[in-house]
Amino acid sequence: MTATTQDRNTPHRGAELLAVPVGAGVVIPAGTMVAINATGFAVPGATSTTLAYLGMADAAADNRDGTDGAIVVTVRRGRQFKWGNHSGDPVTQAGLGRNCYIVDNQTVAASHGTNTRSVAGLVLGIDADGVWVI
Q: What values do phi and psi take at 2, rounded to 5? A: -95, 160
Q: How far apart are the first and last CA of the chain?
A: 33
Residue 55 has pLDDT above 90, yes or no: yes
Q: What is the pLDDT of residues 26-52, one digit of tens each?
A: 999 999 999 999 999 999 999 999 999
* CB contact set of 3 (below 8 Å; sequence gap of 6+): none
Closest among 19, 40, 37 to 118, alpha carbons compared: 37
Q: Please, which pLDDT band fits residue 134 given cuts at 50, 70 and 90?
A: very high
Owning domain of residue 53: 17-76
Pair (62, 24) in one structural domain: yes
Pair (62, 94) in one structural domain: no
Residue 132 has pLDDT above 90, yes or no: yes
Pair (64, 21) in one structural domain: yes
Q: How many domains does the chain have?
A: 2
Pair (107, 120) in one structural domain: yes
Q: Which of 76, 92, 116 is the last residue of a domain?
A: 76
Pair (30, 66) in one structural domain: yes
In a domain, 6, yes or no: no
Pair (26, 62) in one structural domain: yes
Q: What is the pLDDT of residues 1-32, one digit of tens each?
A: 899 999 999 999 889 999 999 999 999 999 99
Q: What is the pLDDT of residues 66-120, one digit of tens each?
A: 999 999 999 999 999 999 999 999 999 999 999 999 999 999 999 999 999 999 9
Nearest-angstrom CA–CA distance, 88 and 69: 35
